[in-house]
């Protein structure tokens, strides 16, 4: 049953296009949808009993709703997918971006050599770039990987010999570098090439990146013949060498000569509740490689959408029931809608399944460029799609094998340690490690494992203070007490849970959605560290069966570790080929890595002293930069007198005294 307030809100919705969002009792976002007619679409969810279907399961959880009215279906599509990407609703297909795409950047703007610009602008450089683009430079891409960018830079170096050095290096060279010696640069830093000739090379490189290979070859041949007619045989020979290098590169790189310059090829594969979309990129006629994407929430989202279609509420026009679309089409359209938000769209998409025309129209409206899609290509396009489809199959098979292996490891650990959870997905493990260098900058790490994988967003670091340097036992005692005392206190206040009970009894007593202690606490260490953990858990009234120490074996060799228990059980050696031990070692190694990186960062901050300057009131970034520049580093600042500090621009006598005291 839904509240009268919610039903009244549904009844008052306008018959306009918009986006709606459903929330549960914990205010977690369940679903984001779009509609041409908000009133008709949203009302359909609440006008019938959906039974035990997935959509019924979702609707039963709805306690709150938000809507946004928009002007068009295209605007609704963009807003819907922006919300899906940022808010991660459970019943939508979601693609997570691992990183932004890289570009090849050529600095400066055309014609700089005729305007008297700075030398760094007169002789543009090629560079690998990732980030927001601006109008001051020229960008080519995006590329599917860093390797594709660097391989393209090497290609252009071989043919056109453009510089790649930083502007500061370029401005201070007195003789050409090694790249000039190996014929990968024309030496503009020491004026071994004229600005006009270098500008021509830049123009030719850009033509190659745009895929204008035949026009480029013809232009170079005409230039060579012009030099020859003028009896400039040395210049003609240089152009001839460029033509030969370009022809060799075109042959080696299998650059296509079809009319397509910029194309994205999208192949989708769904199996075992998981999906893979493989994106292959063709830029400038060159096949640059591909990248796989794996969405989440596929089964829930596909089921909800399919049931919507059966009810006649899921089509773009809110028309009566239409044939259900395959899951592959839903996954691919979700990828296209989410992926091309904020990313340049090529004029042609080659897809393994048909794409909704409304989606293409929305992309066209967003980009200002007509976007077309074909799903039954021929000739070269067919070869591209077949290759992308094969890669999608291989990547999904690899993912399923890895997930099956990880699930098998989780099951093996549960069986080996006789852990209680019947739902392996919910098995939660936290692992602690201590790291320092001779007692300096002691850090503790806590990494978290559940749902068969490490959960990096839940990792924690603890700065250990108030102990004798190098005392790992005291560090372990402090981090365990800090981690679990607050959890126990909060949960006892909210749920009245007795943590001396078995994990099953605790789970039954715990209110839904309340934070829980992990099923297993791994300690990187042997009997001593486990003894410390036993003391902390006993003081907090926690179940000692949760604690397991990972003791290194003879010679500290991997695979010989033994498990030490806090509840008095005998040590256990699982065997070097044990799947359970592989999982324990994986989690332990991740905790060790996370602790070391934190310790090194803290140690570097202390040794360099940057943190000390940052903590002084009145010393901002500009004043700090002036101080470091004047005295050559923090040590120089620390050894300077008050009078010397006061000579720095912006540093008053009072502030100089504060700096002097803080650094001493």
Q: Write out the residue limits of the CATH 1.10.150.20 domain(s) in the chain.
A: 609-662
Mean pLDDT, rounded, for 334-352? 86
| Mean of per-residue pLDDT scores for the chain | 81
| Per-residue pLDDT tens over the stretch 558-598 | 778 889 999 888 888 888 778 888 899 999 999 988 888 87
| Per-residue pLDDT tens over the stretch 518-555 | 999 999 888 999 999 999 999 988 888 889 999 887 76
Q: Write out the residue limits of the CATH 3.40.1440.10 domain(s) in the chain.
A: 4-87
Confidence of residue 515 (pLDDT cuts 50, 70, 90): low
What is the predicted pLDDT for the residue at 313?
A: 41
| Per-residue pLDDT tens over the stretch 608-653 | 444 567 667 788 878 887 887 777 777 778 888 888 888 888 888 8
What is the predicted pLDDT for the residue at 490?
A: 74
Q: What's the CATH class of domain 4-87?
A: alpha beta
Cβ-contact 603, 440 below 8 angstroms: yes
| Per-residue pLDDT tens over the stretch 139-169 | 887 787 788 888 888 888 888 889 998 888 8
The CATH homologous superfamily for domain 424-605 is: UvrC, RNAse H endonuclease domain (3.30.420.340)
Strands 547-551 and 440-450: unpaired
Confidence of residue 98 (pLDDT cuts 50, 70, 90): low
The distance of Cα 608 from the centroid of its chain, to the nearest Å, equals 30
Three-state DSSP class for residue 103: strand
- 51-55, 102-106, 202-206, 453-457: the lowest-pLDDT one: 51-55
pLDDT at 115 over 80: no
Cβ-contact 618, 651 below 8 angstroms: no
- 248-252, 347-351, 487-491, 645-649: the lowest-pLDDT one: 248-252
Separation of first and last alpha carbons in the chain? 68
Mean pLDDT, rounded, for 206-224? 78
pTM of the model: 0.62
Q: Write out the residue limits of the CATH 3.30.420.340 domain(s) in the chain.
A: 424-605
The first and second tokens of residue 119, run together, are: 């030398």
Question: Interior CA angle at 157 toward 198 and 145, to 5°?
Answer: 125
Burial-class residue 646 by CB neighbours within 10 Å (0-12, 13-18, 19+).
Answer: middle
| Per-residue pLDDT tens over the stretch 365-395 | 888 888 899 989 888 889 889 999 999 999 9
| Per-residue pLDDT tens over the stretch 593-605 | 888 887 676 655 5
Three-state DSSP class for residue 282: strand
What is the predicted pLDDT for the residue at 242?
A: 74
Residue with tokens 């077949």: 386
What is the predicted pLDDT for the residue at 117?
A: 66
**Bridge partner residues of 18 (DSSP):** 35, 69
Tell which residue, 12, 67, 61, has the closest CA to residue 35. 67
What is the predicted pLDDT for the residue at 318?
A: 46
Secondary structure letter of residue 661 according to DSSP? H
Domain 609-662 has CATH 3.30.457.10: no
Q: Percentage of the chain surpassing pLDDT 90?
A: 17
d(CA 480, CA 472): 12
């Amino acid at each position: 049953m839904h509240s009268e307030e919610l039903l009244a809100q549904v009844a008052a919705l306008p018959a306009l296009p918009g986006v709606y969002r459903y929330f549960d009792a914990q205010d977690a976002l369940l679903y984001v949808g779009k509609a041409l007619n908000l009133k008709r679409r949203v009302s359909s969810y609440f006008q019938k009993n959906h039974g035990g279907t997935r959509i019924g399961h979702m609707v039963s959880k709805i306690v709150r709703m938000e809507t946004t009215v928009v002007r068009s279906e295209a605007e609704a599509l963009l807003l819907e997918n922006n919300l899906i990407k940022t808010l991660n609703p459970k019943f939508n297909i979601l693609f997570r971006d691992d990183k932004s795409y890289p570009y090849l950047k050529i600095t400066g703007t055309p014609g700089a050599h005729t305007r008297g610009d700075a030398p760094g602008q007169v002789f543009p450089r090629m560079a690998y770039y990732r980030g927001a683009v601006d109008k001051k430079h020229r960008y080519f891409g995006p590329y599917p990987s860093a390797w594709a960018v660097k391989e393209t830079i090497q290609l252009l170096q071989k043919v056109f010999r453009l510089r790649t050095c930083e502007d500061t290096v370029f401005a201070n060279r007195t003789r050409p570098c090694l790249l000039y010696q190996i014929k990968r640069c024309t030496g503009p830093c020491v004026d071994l090439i004229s600005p006009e000739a270098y500008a021509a090379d830049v123009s030719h490189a850009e033509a190659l990146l745009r895929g204008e290979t035949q026009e480029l070859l013809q232009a170079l041949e005409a230039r060579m013949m012009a030099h020859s007619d003028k009896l400039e045989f040395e210049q003609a020979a240089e152009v001839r060498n460029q033509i030969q290098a370009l022809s060799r590169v075109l042959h080696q790189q299998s650059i296509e000569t079809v009319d397509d310059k910029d194309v994205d090829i999208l192949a989708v594969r769904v199996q075992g509740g998981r999906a893979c979309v493989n994106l292959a990129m063709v830029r400038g006629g060159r096949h640059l490689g591909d990248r796989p994407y794996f969405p989440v929430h596929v089964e829930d989202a596909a089921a909800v959408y399919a049931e919507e279609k059966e009810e006649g509420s899921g089509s773009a026009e809110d028309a009566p029931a239409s044939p259900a679309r395959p899951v592959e089409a839903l996954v691919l359209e979700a990828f296209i809608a989410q992926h091309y938000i904020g990313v340049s769209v090529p004029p042609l998409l080659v897809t393994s399944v048909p794409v909704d025309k409304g989606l293409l129209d929305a992309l066209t409206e967003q980009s200002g460029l007509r976007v077309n899609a074909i799903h039954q290509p021929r000739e070269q396009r067919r070869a591209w799609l077949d290759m992308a489809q094969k890669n999608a199959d291989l990547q999904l098979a690899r993912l399923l094998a890895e997930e099956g292996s990880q699930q098998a490891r989780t099951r093996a650990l549960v069986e080996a340690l006789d852990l209680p959870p019947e739902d392996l997905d919910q098995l939660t493990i936290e692992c602690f490690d201590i790291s320092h260098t001779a007692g300096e900058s002691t850090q503790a790490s806590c990494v978290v494992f559940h749902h068969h994988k490490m959960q990096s967003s839940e990792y924690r670091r603890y700065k250990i203070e108030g102990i004798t340097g190098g005392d790992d036992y005291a560090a372990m005692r402090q981090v365990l007490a800090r981690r679990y005392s607050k959890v126990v206190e909060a949960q006892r206040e909210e749920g009245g849970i007795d943590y001396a009970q078995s994990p099953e009894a605790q789970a039954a007593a715990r209110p839904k959605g309340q934070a829980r202690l992990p099923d297993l606490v791994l300690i990187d260490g042997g009997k001593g560290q486990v003894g410390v953990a036993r003391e902390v858990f006993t003081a907090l009234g926690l179940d000692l069966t949760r604690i397991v120490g990972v003791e290194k074996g003879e010679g500290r060799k991997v695979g010989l570790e033994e498990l030490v228990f806090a509840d008095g059980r005998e040590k256990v050696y699982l065997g070097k080929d044990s799947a359970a031990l592989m999982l324990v070692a994986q989690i332990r190694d991740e905790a060790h890595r996370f602790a070391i990186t934190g310790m090194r960062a803290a140690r570097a901050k202390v040794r360099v002293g940057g943190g000390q300057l940052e903590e002084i009131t009145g010393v901002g970034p500009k004043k700090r930069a002036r101080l470091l520049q004047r005295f050559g580093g923090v040590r120089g600042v620390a050894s300077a007198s008050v009078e010397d500090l006061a000579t720095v621009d912006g540093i008053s006598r009072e502030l100089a005294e504060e700096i002097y005291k803080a650094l001493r």
